[in-house]
Amino acid sequence: MIFLECNNIIKQYTGHRALDDVSIAVPKGSIYGLLGPNGAGKTSLIRIINQITKPDSGTVLFNGEPLSQKHIKYVGYLPEERGLYKKMKVGEQAVYFARLRGMSKEKAEKKLLQWFKKFEIETWWNKKVEELSKGMQQKIQFIVTIVHEPELLIFDEPFSGFDPINVDLLKKEILQLKEKGTTIIFSTHNMSSVEELCDHITLINNGKNILSGEINEVRNQFKDSLMEVRIDRYLDNLSSLLPEGVVILQQKQNNIFNQINLQTPSGIITNDIIEALTPHTRIISFSESLPSMHDIFVQEVKKK
């Protein structure tokens, strides 16, 4: 089931078309990666979904209905540019933002205190925001974004400024939100996080949608006859043993096995390589390698 659908979105600013006929379809209960280089149009699309701006043409459907003001309370948005009031106390400010999303004061305080306890930050409640580090402030904004239990969450570079421990903490919470049925749009430049978290992706460049799909299907689409072979010892004459046309991308050794990464030309099959190596070494494993999202991102953006 598609939860959020953007159809043929065009957004024009003076002398610049930020979005040029962009369409996305976000399945319900999924994590959807919205990718692209700086200035690609991601933020323009996010602002339209949040009803901060309107498209010049195109439609947005929220759970099957035309997007309207009534849907605002069902959306949580964590922007890349953080926006806490530095002189206000943390708890007072968190309650204020929760009430803007329709929560009563009593319910907001109760839910926020539960989240503060979960994140082990109860002692921050009466501190001023300016007393907190950037990472601490971002924890507060994350909590404020999700406390009203929105149906759609939009995270724009949510891990910016976090240390690895807190990145893992937030990843765990994001996956738990997905398990509970929340639909999530995840915008980031960190491709390893995309591979770890996202079910589907859309890559936008120069205002156009240049690549969309389920993440494993996308990676399979760009596989280029890459293979990883693990053998029990290093072979100095490896290139002379392999079938003609096979390219050795890497050969590295550790105490347990020797790993070889190969690129094979059309017509070479797995058995050809196994038969070439078997007389000279023991093959521990043999697998096809998929390109990383980082490699696909760089390759596709450079093409445009």
User: In this structure, what token pair is assigned to residue 208?
Assistant: 């156009």
**Burial call 150-183: b when 16+ CB within 10 Å, e when fewer:** bbbbbbbbbbbebeeebbebbeebbeebbeeebb
Longest dimension (CA), the chain: 75
Query: What pLDDT does residue 88 have?
Result: 92
Q: What is the pLDDT of residues 13-27, one digit of tens each?
A: 988 899 999 999 999
Of residues 54 and 251, more confidently modeled: 54
Torsion 83-85-89-92 (CA) sign: negative
Q: How confident is the model at residue 69 (pLDDT cuts 50, 70, 90)?
A: very high
Query: What pLDDT does residue 304 have?
Result: 63
User: Of the given ranges (185-194, 259-268, 278-287), which has the lowest mean pLDDT?
Assistant: 259-268
Q: What is the pLDDT of residues 114-126, one digit of tens each?
A: 999 999 999 999 9
Q: What is the pLDDT of residues 165-189, one digit of tens each?
A: 999 999 999 999 999 999 999 998 8
Of residues 33 and 233, more confidently modeled: 33
Of residues 18 and 295, more confidently modeled: 18
Query: What pLDDT does residue 290 have?
Result: 82
Contact indicator for 84, 137 with CB cutoff of 8 Å = yes
Provide the residue ranges of all domains of the chain, joining segments of one domain with +. 2-220, 224-303
Is the model's pLDDT at 201 over the cut of 70?
yes
CATH superfamily of 2-220: P-loop containing nucleotide triphosphate hydrolases (3.40.50.300)
- Record: fold of 224-303: Alpha-Beta Plaits (3.30.70)
Instruction: Give the contacts of 268 (CB within 8 A, at least 6 positions apart).
Output: 225, 243, 245, 246
Pairing, β 75-78 against β 57-62:
unpaired
Query: What number of CA atoms fall less than 13 Å from residue 245's CA on the CB side?
Result: 10
Q: What is the pLDDT of residues 140-162, one digit of tens each?
A: 999 999 999 999 999 998 988 78
Query: What pLDDT does residue 180 have?
Result: 95
Q: How confident is the model at residue 59 (pLDDT cuts 50, 70, 90)?
A: very high
The winner for highest mean pLDDT among 141-150, 153-162, 218-227, 290-299 is 141-150
Helix-helix angle 164-179:134-146, to 10 degrees: 0
The share of the chain scoring above pLDDT 90, in percent, equals: 64
Average pLDDT, the chain: 91
Is the model's pLDDT at 252 over the cut of 90?
no
